[in-house]
Amino acid sequence: MRILIHLPSPVPAFQATYAQLDALSARVPRHELVAVATEAELESALPEVEALVVWRFLPEWYVRAPRLRHLFTPSAGHEPLPPDPSGRVQRHFGSFHGAIMAESLLAMILFMNRRLGEAVRAQEERRWDRTPYFVTRRLNGQIVLIIGFGAIGRRSARLLALAGMRVHALRRDAGRESTGAERVFGPGQLLDAVATADHIACILPGDTGTDRLLAASAFARMKSSACVYNLGRGNAIDADALVAALESGAIAGAFLDVLPEEPLAPSSPLWSAPNLYLTPHASAISAEYLELYFEELADALCELA
Supply the pLDDT for residue 161: 98
Supply the pLDDT for residue 16: 95
Tell me how far apart the alpha carbons of residues 24 and 143 are, in angstroms, rounded to a whole number. 40
CA 8-11-14 angle, to 5 degrees, is 60
- Torsion sign (Cα): 100, 101, 104, 110: negative
Helix, strand, or coil (residue 255): strand
- Per-residue pLDDT tens over the stretch 179-216: 999 999 999 999 999 999 999 999 998 766 789 999 99
> What's the farthest any 2 CA atoms get from each other in the chain?
68
**8 A C-beta contact, residue 190 and residue 170:** yes
Positions of CATH 3.40.50.720 in the chain: 2-94+286-304, 98-278
Supply the pLDDT for residue 46: 97
Supply the pLDDT for residue 94: 96
Tell me how far apart the alpha carbons of residues 95 and 8 are, in angstroms, rounded to a whole number. 20
Q: Find the length of the chain.
A: 305
Tell me how far apart the alpha carbons of residues 276 and 163 are, in angstroms, rounded to a whole number. 23
Tell me how far apart the alpha carbons of residues 94 and 160 are, in angstroms, rounded to a whole number. 22
Provide the residue-wise pLDDT of the chain in tens; the chain has 305 residues: 999 999 999 999 999 999 999 999 999 999 999 999 999 999 999 999 999 999 999 999 999 999 999 999 999 989 999 999 999 999 999 999 999 999 999 999 999 999 999 999 999 999 999 999 999 999 999 999 999 999 999 999 999 999 999 999 999 988 888 899 999 999 999 999 999 999 999 999 876 678 999 999 999 999 999 999 999 999 999 999 999 999 999 999 999 999 999 999 999 999 999 999 999 999 999 999 999 999 999 999 999 86
- Please state whether the peptide bond connecting residue 83 to the residue before it is cis, i.e. omega within 30 degrees of 0: no
Supply the pLDDT for residue 208: 64
Supply the pLDDT for residue 33: 95
**Fold exhibited by the domain 98-278:** Rossmann fold (3.40.50)
In order of 21, 29, 201, the CA distances from 254 in angstroms are 39, 47, 10
In order of 13, 49, 108, the CA distances from 182 in angstroms are 35, 47, 22
Dihedral angle at the C-alpha atoms of 27, 30, 36, 42, nearest 10 degrees? Answer: -130
Supply the pLDDT for residue 205: 85
Angle separating helix axes 116-124 and 98-113, nearest 10 degrees: 60
Non-local CB neighbours of 53 within 8 Å, separated by 6+ positions? 3, 4, 5, 6, 7, 72, 73, 297
Supply the pLDDT for residue 111: 98
Does domain 2-94+286-304 fall under CATH 3.40.50.720? My reply is yes
Supply the pLDDT for residue 305: 66
- Residue from 264, 276, 288, 284 nearest 105 by CA: 284
Tell me how far apart the alpha carbons of residues 176 and 35 are, in angstroms, rounded to a whole number. 40
Compute how many other C-beta atoms are within 10 angstroms of the C-beta atom of residue 245: 25
Record the pTM: 0.94
Tell me how far apart the alpha carbons of residues 27 and 60 are, in angstroms, rounded to a whole number. 32
Q: Where are the alpha helices (DSSP H) in 37-183?
A: 39-45, 98-113, 116-124, 151-162
- Per-residue pLDDT tens over the stretch 81-132: 999 999 999 999 999 999 999 999 999 999 999 999 999 999 999 999 999 9
- Residue from 237, 231, 205, 235 nearest 284 by CA: 231
3-state helix, strand, coil in the chain (%, to 5): 40, 15, 45
Supply the pLDDT for residue 300: 96
**8 A C-beta contact, residue 179 and residue 207:** no
